[in-house]
Structure 1
């Protein structure tokens, strides 16, 4: 198949590599433009961009696909199909219609649950026990197109969004490559989605990252792991050096009672609206991730203190 590939982060890179290794022809790779990153804030190319260049593939990084010029340039590639995975730009109808077989999307949820921008994080934050990846044909709606193939995986009680991301990338690369092989033989069959159980996976807002200790410990545990490693749930408190912000990356639910946000012992147990949350791995601003024991050697989290 002659393929246009459209993706940006690590999740999509494994898929591009699999498609290349299966012998499909890559007409062009579309990715988000380089963004300022690092201490020097110099422009950094996306993971997909870097991989594509390492394979000698042509890379395009438009800021939008809405113009007639971009639509014409896309159509001029004369591709059989476009493959989309975490690309990050809206595909207007002329783009969806520009290839012989349309645009196939690798979506990180079991549709129709978690349509939208953050399906991996939302699944964990909601306490879901199962997720997966699906190959769907894109239409004008938001992740509403018919589904051809799917692969499921359990979500463990302590699995983070980063770990689920890696598992779905592992499942998704061969799944989409299989879909292309079937499409080439005329054997890829699509089934319309049901609307029952559909929900929206909104983009993660920065304000959501603050831990609200008034919530039950079980909900906060899911909240923390759903935001780990990025952007990371956080709390604030005076830890002996003035008020600091601390990211919380690993926790455990334990028995405990007290006013929400109150430190219950000298080893990182914090009272919640119901039960308590044990801090296991945290990260101070400008520092690396560390276990709670190491953290407490340099910062005070004294029994009776109240966190915000």
Structure 2
């Protein structure tokens, strides 16, 4: 027992001495310099990082400068930009504005002291559509003509809204008090014209002419031709008809003259008789033709009736 106790005590001392020795060796300074490993980005990676940071900074500065320049050039404000102003009543454009795409608005009006001008290099077209998108009316202002396509076209007076001009497929209505034609050739009508009154300008002549056809004036209650301060002339190439079916033709004037009437040839006067005066008798043929016959003591129409043979 004593021997075994001694062996255990010795082993314990040896273990303790080994522990102390190992601990003392760890606390001793090392003779060799340890190898250090740096932490971070170095070399070409560091140069690339600095380059990208500098490029990003330059891009931000250029972007900020361009944004400030655009804001200044376009005149951005709280109310709008440039000539465009946003108000409570809508959008207001000042100056000349150009639209490259279709414009859809409910109402367009100008200022009180300036007109509204639509200008285009080709033409200006205004379309009206129904709820289904179908075209119901179109107004085109071009370089050669103004075209309007609709069921009915009306021009109204600005004061009372009275219709001055209206046109549809059936008729054209002119509601003005007076229709004035100022052309040198007058007005040309291809078909009949219905009007209650035709009058020329003061101190101007009124002329109704049909160059190649006949001119017919009809009225259910009569046709009245009145020239207050001038002459009335009716000229035709072939025949002039004055016809009254239920009444009479009344010519009321201080002097009624019938020029270029043929003169009938009567029997010569016997020798030694006094010359007949230049007095003629007005004669009528059965056909209605008028001719003159030298006046005598009695009627000489029978003796000079040879004119009626050629009528």
Same fold (TM over 0.5): no
The higher radius of gyration belongs to: 2
Greater helix fraction, Structure 1 or Structure 2: 1
| TMscore range, shorter length | under 0.3
Q: Which has the higher contact order (CA 8 A, sep 6+)?
A: 1
Higher strand share: 1
TM-score w.r.t. length of structure 1 = 0.20
Q: TM-score of the superposition, structure 2-length normalised?
A: 0.19
